[in-house]
Amino acid sequence: MPERSASADDRESRTDAAARWREEAVRNLQRMANFATVAADAATPVAGATAREEVYRKRQARLYRYASSRTRRIPLLFVPNLGLSRPYIFDLMPGASFIEYLTKEGYDFYLLDWGVYGPEDRDLTMGECVTKILPKVVHKVLETSGAERLSVLGYCMGATLAASYLGWEPGAPVAHFINMAGPIDFDRSGLFGLWLDRRFFNVDQVVDTFGELPAEMVKAGMKLLKPTMELSSRLNLWWNLWNKDYIDGFKALNQWANEYVPMPGEFFREWVKAYYQENRLVRGQLRYDGRVVRLNAIRCPVLVIGAKEDYIVPPECARALIDAVGSDDKEFLELRGGHISLIAGRSAPVHCWPRVEGWLAARSPNARRRRDDTDGGVR
């Protein structure tokens, strides 16, 4: 290979530098143009675009069934958190939706939207959710799908509620259970666990004053948990302001991240006392309607997913379910990212969703039906 002269190298280096300057200049122009658009355009992206129908309602809760080819025999019930935030994050926008992803894979997808609770729902308890609403929802899923069993996927507090239900009702017709960033061992629940400790936090005073956990307090708690988050997201927005796709995603996620919802008073009292302060679930001391919630009575295949940088539910807090259940088939996955990036954002469709789908598909080997057999329902 002939030796290159120093002047040729120098020329190439200058050309590279010029190209990079040009690229940076173009990006800066795009940043400026898009900044004006972002600042002027108050329109929010359309969330929850996947077609669905309401199949059941109880209090503010709604059970939705999503349109799909339904090539999987076992329907999937998704249980998110109650209060705190809205569930449209799971169907954020076309091309970036967990629900869209799974429905395209042929899953008969059901979402339990707990709804937004008002003053009239202050007496709603976790016990009611575990012993009344969830059993009814499970029954409705089986009734409308025609299936004999279902898979349950709980996210965040929804996973805790679902685990409590499964431990309370071991005979529930659940084929698989996935805990996605759901707290189980509250002795390992990080900063929230410390702040909500009974020595420092008087939950009765909050509930007796407001009758609920107000949305403003939810927001304050979340912002305090990661004070640099706002700065970080603004910096990333500025950096990616030249990229139209990034802006669309940012707007959708930002809209969700700033929409907090209250939690019913009695529900919050129980959540803090029984779960955070007394850690009854994992200790086998939780009791509903006179029946003990036993996590070791859960025998179905279990998948637990934790996120390495999850400061809301540290991975070890979710992982505790693996040691607590009586299942032979159980697996823990620790993925990169945080609490939200498991379910939404750019990395979720790459790192998390295919793992969930792959795990479910591996446990339903004969689940696919013939394509010509799809009549809208699974019989």
Q: Where does this chain bind another protein (CB under 8 A)?
A: 17, 20-21, 23-24, 58-59, 119-120, 123, 136, 191, 194-195, 197, 199-202, 205-206, 208-210, 224, 226-228, 231-232, 235, 239, 311
Which lies closer to another protein via its Cβ, residue 46 or residue 194? 194
Q: CB nearer to another protein: give 195 or 246.
A: 195
Q: Please identify which residue in the block is written with the tokens 């059970």.
A: 63
Q: Smallest distance, Å, CB 161 to another protein?
A: 19
Q: How far is the CB of 190 from another protein (least distance, A)?
A: 8
Residue 49 or 191: which CB sits closer to another protein? 191
Q: Which residues of 58-90 are buried (b: 16+ CB within 10 A; e: fewer)?
A: bbbbbbbbbebebbbbbbbbbbbbbbbbbbbbb
Q: In the bound complex, what is the minimum distance in angstroms from residue 335's beta carbon to another protein?
A: 19
Least spacing, CB of residue 310 vs another protein, in Å = 13
CB of 215 to another protein, least distance (A): 15
Query: How far apart are CB 211 and another protein at their closest, in Å?
Result: 9
Could you tell me the smallest distance in angstroms from the CB atom of residue 134 to another protein? 15
Residue closer to another protein by CB (options 71, 125) is 125
Residue 143 CB, shortest distance to another protein, in Å, is 9
Residues in the chain, total: 379
- Cβ atoms 364, 72 nearer than 8 A: yes
Q: Shortest distance, CB of residue 187 to another protein, whole angstroms?
A: 15
Q: In 10 A of CB 358, how many CB atoms? A: 11
Question: Residue 340 in contact with residue 250, Cβ under 8 Å?
Answer: no
Q: Taking a C-beta distance cutoff of 8 angstroms, is the pair 191, 223 a contact?
A: no
Q: Please provide the DSSP assignment of 106-131 as one string.
A: T--EEEEE-----GGGTT--HHHIII
- In whole angstroms, how far apart are CA 367 and each of 70, 74, 134, 145, 331? 10, 7, 25, 14, 21
For residues 122 and 355, which CB has a smaller minimum distance to another protein in the complex?
122
Place of tokens 């996605």: 180
- Sign of the Cα pseudo-torsion (84, 43, 346, 68, in order): positive
Query: 195 or 359, CB closer to another protein?
Result: 195
Taking the C-alpha atoms of residue 115 and residue 112, their distance in angstroms, rounded to an integer, is: 9
CB of 33 to another protein, least distance (A): 18
Closer by beta carbon to another protein, 37 or else 232: 232
Q: Please state, as a whole number, how many other Cβ atoms lie within 10 Å of the Cβ of residue 310.
A: 24
Give the C-alpha distances (Å, rounded to integers) separating 283 from 280, 290, 303, 327.
5, 16, 20, 18
C-alpha span between 353 and 343 (Å, rounded): 8
β-pair partners for 369: none
Identity of the residue, 24 or 54, whose beta carbon is nearer to another protein in the bound complex: 24
Q: Which of 254, 258, 257 has its CA nearest to residue 41? A: 254
d(CA 130, CA 118): 20
Q: Kindly tell me which of 228 and 366 has the beta carbon lying closer to another protein.
A: 228
- Hey, how many other C-beta atoms are within 10 angstroms of the C-beta on 95? 12
Instruction: Compare residues 309 and 329 and give the one whose CB is closer to another protein.
Output: 309
